[in-house]
Amino acid sequence: MMHEIDLKAVGRLIDLAVDEDYADGDPTSEITVAEDAWGRAGIVSREKIVVCGMSIVGDILGRYSRKLGLQVLVNDGEEAGEGDLLGVIQGPTRSLLAAERVVLNFLQRLCGISTGTKEYVDAVKGTKAKILDTRKTTPGWRELEKYAVRCGGGVNHRMNLGDGVLIKDNHVTEFGDKIAEKLGPMVARARLYPRVKFVGVEVDDVDFQLKQVLAVEGIDVVLLDNMSYKEMRRAVEMRNEMCGERPLLEASGNIRLENVREVAETGVERISVGALTHSAVSVDIGLDRE
């Protein structure tokens, strides 16, 4: 399913977050709240968002107390408006208060990524282009951040280096004027790796590099690096004339919300946007006690 997440893979990150915030306990709550006090609080969105992270809130709460319960009212991938109740937590008040900051830290960042991704996805509606993320993720957060991109309607690029073979433009430059001749055996060898999901080649020139790359069979994606709209349109025309609809063409480099529509209208099938993760802005979510 689109919104599935590997909870085991993010367990270490949750443990680290809880440990850095709660390793020495919470003396404030111990002083001000009775040990047997029972509380209830709502997770509330302060703005319009695409929700992401509710699927891990229960795991976070369990680190503080198994008696903390969660009722999810808005699922990951769904939209919420200002003032909407995303979920309700109830249980020991001390544990609830201790968990608040870590829960919100995860939710605010992940919802920021999913919400920002949806803006890009909406901007290219009506074109054939899909919005992809990159490996420009926060160290340790990749599983979650790429999950957030999916919740926002985006598509994941490589999860790690082993997922795909991507021969960059710097590699292609080393081939001189024999790109097709040297690239062919490399593509064939890449196909032998069992975990490799796709083979891609990056080019920064249409009339020489791209023309030779398109002559090589077995390439799934060609990345058009930092090309102008005119160059991208020319690349689409050349690909269509030489190969039909494959390989897919992917625009990359200097893609912003302000120009993503123009990029999509050149006819490329994929647009990779590093800003989805490396420049995401956290949204405003609060925990309001009843």
Catalytic positions: 101, 136, 168, 202, 225
Query: Is 211 within any annotated ligand binding site?
Result: no
Gap between the Cα atoms of 162 and 239, Å rounded: 27
Query: Is 168 within any annotated ligand binding site?
Result: yes
Residues 123/96, Cβ–Cβ less than 8 Å:
no
Amino acid at 26: D
Query: Is 101 within any annotated ligand binding site?
Result: yes
Query: Is 275 within any annotated ligand binding site?
Result: yes
Query: Is 67 within any annotated ligand binding site?
Result: no
Residues 190/221, Cβ–Cβ less than 8 Å:
no
CA angle, corner 130, sides to 125 and 231, nearest 5?
A: 95
Which string of DSSP letters, residue by residue, matches 112-175?
Answer: HHHHHHHHHHHHTTTSS-EEE--S---TT-HHHHHHHHHHTT-B---SSGGGEEEE-HHHHHTT
Query: Is 254 within any annotated ligand binding site?
Result: yes
Query: Is 112 within any annotated ligand binding site?
Result: no
In a 10 Å sphere around its CB, with 0-12 CB exposed, 13-18 middle and 19+ buried, how is residue 288 labelled? exposed
Query: Is 65 within any annotated ligand binding site?
Result: no
For tokens 């969105």, the residue is 45
Query: Is 253 within any annotated ligand binding site?
Result: yes
Query: Is 189 within any annotated ligand binding site?
Result: no
- CB under 8 Å to 129, separation ≥6 — which residues? 251, 263, 264, 268, 269, 270, 271
What's the Cα-to-Cα distance from 160 to each of 155, 157, 220, rounded to whole Å?
A: 14, 9, 17
Gap between the Cα atoms of 270 and 8, Å rounded: 30
Query: Is 128 within any annotated ligand binding site?
Result: no
Query: Is 134 within any annotated ligand binding site?
Result: yes
Please give the structure tokens belonging to residue 29: 């709550």
Q: Which residues are annotated as a binding site for substrate?
A: 101, 134-136, 158, 168, 202, 225, 252-254, 273-275
